[in-house]
Structure formats: C-alpha cells, structure tokens
C-alpha cells in the first residue's frame, strides 16, 4: 500500500490523504460531545411576586413594606439528554452570552432527565430551608413563631439561597437593604449563613444587567470569573456570609465604603 502511494505526485497524495480527514471532521461536526451550552436565564425579584404569588410570605411577625428589588439570577442550559455537537460548541465559544460547560459539572452523570429534575427540585427545597434558617438566625427570630414560605416556580438548584435570606431579612428587619436600588446576586447558603460558590456567574451578571440591576452580590471565591465579562456599570460586591452581605447593602444604601471585587 505504501509503495503505490509513493508513486503519486505530492498534490495528488495530499488530496487522497485529505479524504479520510474530511470524513472524520464531517462525523465530528455532528457527533454528540460531553458538553452543555448555557446562557443567561431569568431573574426574579424575591421581594415581589412570581406568577401572581408572593415569592416570600411571612406570618407571626410584623413585615416591613419594602422598596427596590433583590433579584435572584439563573442560567439556562441545554437539557441533560440534549446532544451538543461541534457546531454548537464553536458557536458558543465566539459568543459572550454563551458558555460551554462540561456536562457532568451541570448534571449528575448516569441519571435520567426525570431523576435529574427531582434532584434539582430537592436541592432547591433544601436551599430554601437553609435560607430561612440563616435569616431567622441572623435576626434572632424564633422559628417556632415566625413562619416563612417561599414560592418560585420552574427553578431548580441551590443558588438562590443568599437572595432568599436577604429578602427575608429585608422584610423583617427595620433597615432598608436596597435603598430603592435594583440589586441582584447569587450564592448558596447554609443554615449558619455561610455563602458558597455556584458557577455560571459571568452569565448571571449579564442576566442581571439585562433586567436593570446595577449591583451584583457574588461569592468571593468567584470574583475573578464574574469580572471576565462584567457588564458596563455593574458593581461587584464579594460576600462570604449573610452578615457581610447585609453589612455591604446597608453601607451601600448609606453611601459608605463597600468591598468590591
């Protein structure tokens, strides 16, 4: 085989060699890849309503009339069973409003779409419980007397925890946290008020800017990622705990110094 190929002229040999390469590229262009493509998703003001229902309902304690907005942010990703090919990846790489993520970093491997949906719903429920515990603990409210119900449809995962806690604090505390501003953010939260990283923050800042936010609360560990494609005019405020998130918002509202990424 090699001897016959050696008698071909160089252009002819290159042309013959290119045939299997082109075939491989054609197959690769349509073959599914282990990636997920994400883009900015919805934002929701936790001080407001979702589908006609209050996002936060509190009974057993006086509730303050709030101003401004506290927006939780999301990303939208291709579904767990959706095939992503080379063309999808190439398109996402050149767009600022898209991100290519390893499939297993977004969805648990080896699970069906139904199992993943249940997992995300359970994570959201757990996050909501932690958010309530963190907020009531910060305010030293008795959870046996103060009841908090959280409502947010069609959103899964734990990344709204910080904003839920801040919304509860804003409704129950005497101080206004927003000063009438449109403030957005993201971050998990545990029952002790510690804020954790979430992923997708560069896309979430874009969603926040699209919906009018000018301040974004970001887990401190993700400051650098959030700065990569930060929308113009957006202020990044790093947080590690509920306490410093509240302190930063109070300082911002009063015109004081606020930590920045």
Residues annotated as catalytic (active site), given as ranges: 159, 204
Phi, psi of 243 (to 5 degrees): -60, -45
* Strand pairing class (235-239; 215-219): parallel
- Of 203, 193, 190, 185, residue with least CA distance to 261: 185
d(CA 126, CA 158): 7
Tokens of 66: 């709030």
CB-based contact 183:204 (threshold 8 Å): no
3-class secondary structure, 171: helix
**Residue 193: count of CB within 10 angstroms of its CB:** 23
Residues 130 and 190: beta-carbon distance below 8 Å? yes
Tokens coding 150: 């959280």
How far apart (Å, rounded) are the C-alpha atoms in residues 138 and 132? 10
Beta bridge partners of 39: 76
């Amino acid at each position: 085989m090699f001897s016959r190929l050696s008698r071909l002229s160089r252009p002819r040999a290159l042309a013959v060699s290119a045939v299997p390469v082109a075939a491989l590229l054609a197959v690769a262009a349509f073959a599914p890849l282990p990636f997920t493509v994400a883009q900015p998703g919805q934002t929701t003001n936790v001080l407001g309503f979702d589908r006609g229902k209050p996002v936060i309902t509190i009974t057993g304690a006086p509730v303050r009339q709030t101003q401004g907005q506290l927006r939780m942010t999301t990303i939208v990703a291709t579904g767990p069973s959706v095939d992503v090919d080379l063309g999808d990846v190439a398109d996402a790489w050149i767009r600022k409003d898209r991100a290519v993520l390893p499939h297993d970093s977004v969805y648990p491997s080896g699970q069906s779409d139904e199992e993943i949906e249940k997992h995300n719903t359970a994570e959201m429920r757990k996050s909501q419980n932690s958010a309530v515990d963190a907020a009531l603990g910060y305010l030293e409210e008795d959870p046996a007397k103060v009841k908090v119900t959280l409502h947010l449809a069609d959103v899964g995962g734990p990344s709204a925890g910080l904003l839920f806690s801040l919304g509860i604090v804003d409704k129950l505390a005497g101080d206004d946290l927003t000063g009438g501003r449109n403030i957005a953010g993201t971050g998990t939260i545990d029952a002790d008020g510690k804020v954790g990283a979430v992923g997708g923050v560069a896309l979430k800042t874009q969603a926040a800017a699209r919906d009018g936010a000018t301040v974004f609360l970001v887990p401190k560990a993700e400051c650098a990622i959030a700065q990569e494609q930060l929308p113009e005019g957006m202020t990044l405020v790093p947080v590690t705990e509920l306490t410093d998130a509240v302190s930063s918002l109070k300082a911002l509202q009063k015109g004081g110094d606020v930590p920045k990424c």
